[in-house]
Structure formats: C-alpha cells, structure tokens
Amino acid sequence: MSDDILYRRKMTHGPEVRIRRTSEKGATPVIAVIDVDRRAGTPREKEGGTPPPLKQVQGESEDAVVAMLKAEADDDRAIAGLLRAKGLR
C-alpha cells in the first residue's frame, strides 16, 4: 500500500474506495480525500495517476482524517452520491 493511502476497500462491483493523504507526510494539518479508483483490478491499474477527489478534510493527524471520512468511505450509497455530485457518474 502506498504511504499516501490511509485506507482502502473494494466495492462489490470492482472499484476501490480510498482515503488518501494529499499533504506531505509529517505535515500538519493532515489533508486527505476520498477517491474511487475505477481502474483497480484491471489492466489499466498500473497506468498511474490519481482519481479526482470526491471529498476533502483536514485534521490534526492521519487517524483523525480517517475517522472523519471512514463512514462515507464504507457506504456505497454515500460514494455514489459523491460521484454524482462531482458529475462522475
């Protein structure tokens, strides 16, 4: 797992939901986003790049930002709503 990826889970239909730190390691506040890697598990997975952020938060630690985003990251309906709001679905 990349140092920037703080949390990840596979959705039932393939894509991977991630909580990804966007601030430098060790910097405070910690800035993190939810994103959905739709290339996960496909031949395109190795192409690199990062998906667009769906939601961004900042907090005093990596644990704090994961706690702020995890409920939505674990909820397929919430992820679908974030994708729709960004025009990605």
Q: Is the pTM of this model over 0.85?
A: yes
Q: Taking the CB of residue 71, how many other CB atoms lie within 10 A of it?
A: 9
Q: Domain residues of the chain, as ranges?
A: 5-85
Specify whether the CB–CB gap between 6 and 65 falls below 8 A.
yes
Residue 46's pLDDT band (cuts 50, 70, 90): low
Q: Taking the CB of residue 88, how many other CB atoms lie within 10 A of it?
A: 12
Residue 43, pLDDT score: 56
